[in-house]
Homo-oligomer: A and B are copies of this chain.
Amino acid sequence: MIIKRNTLQEIMDTGLILVQERGYNGFSYADIADAIGIRKASIHYHFPSKQDLVQAVLRRYRKEFMYKLQQINDQDPSGKQKLESFFKLYRETLENNTKLCLCSMMAAELNSFPTEIRDELNQFFKANTVWVHDVLEQGKSSGEFSFSNSALGQAKTLIAFVQGAQLLSRTSGDIGYYDSLVSGYISSVVQ
């Protein structure tokens, strides 16, 4: 059986990997073309400009991430388990060739982008914050969690923390750095 290839998806898949590994200014259409065995012009057919491409990649990334957060809600009972699953999502990009969250990478290169992409990035971080906020608030009122902050303040802190943790862990070359940071954080929040 012949499997029909979906060039558009392959381009986005490779584009995602390359931004996460090298950043927006660190790869070219030639890199994608080489990686999947097509010509540069074919990429321009699907995505006329490089910014069209990363914007599409970004939107898909955000949707898929939201779906994963929803899955955690559907499956995990305790607040602690939800947090652990959340940190596991960020761990998985590190595990996979020490990539960073797409949105951290693009946030670092923020000045390379127009408003629409900045908005997309903020929506990603905002949605992360809202999700964590819900988990923390529920855990605080049930007595599972304990922190002196407001739940919203603590949620914002957690998002900053996880982005920084990923960055430092990759730089150190040791994923154990991430694990150690995360387990310390969780134990400081959980009773």
Q: Using a CB–CB distance below 8 Å, which chain A residues touch chain B? A: 21-23, 25-26, 100, 104-105, 107-112, 118, 121-122, 125, 147-150, 153-154, 156-157, 159-165, 167-168, 170-173, 177, 180-181, 184-185, 187-188
Contacts and interface: CB of A to CB of B under 8 A. Distances in A.
B111 A22 contact: yes
Copy count, this protein chain: 2
A183 B159 CA distance: 16
A112 B181 contact: no
B149 A160 contact: no
B171 A164 contact: no
B107 A105 contact: no
Interface centre among A150, A159, A161 (most CB of B within 10 A): A161
Given A23-B25, A26-B25, A168 B157 contact: no
B25 A108 contact: no
Contact of A164 (B111, B147, B153, B162): B162
A127 to B, nearest CB: 13
A181 to B, nearest CB: 6
A110 B109 CA distance: 13
A158 to B, nearest CB: 9
Contact of A104 (B23, B108, B159, B161): B108
A56 to B, nearest CB: 20
A115 to B, nearest CB: 10
Contacts of A161: 157, 160-161, 164
Given A23-B25, A180-B156, A188 B111 contact: no
A62 to B, nearest CB: 14
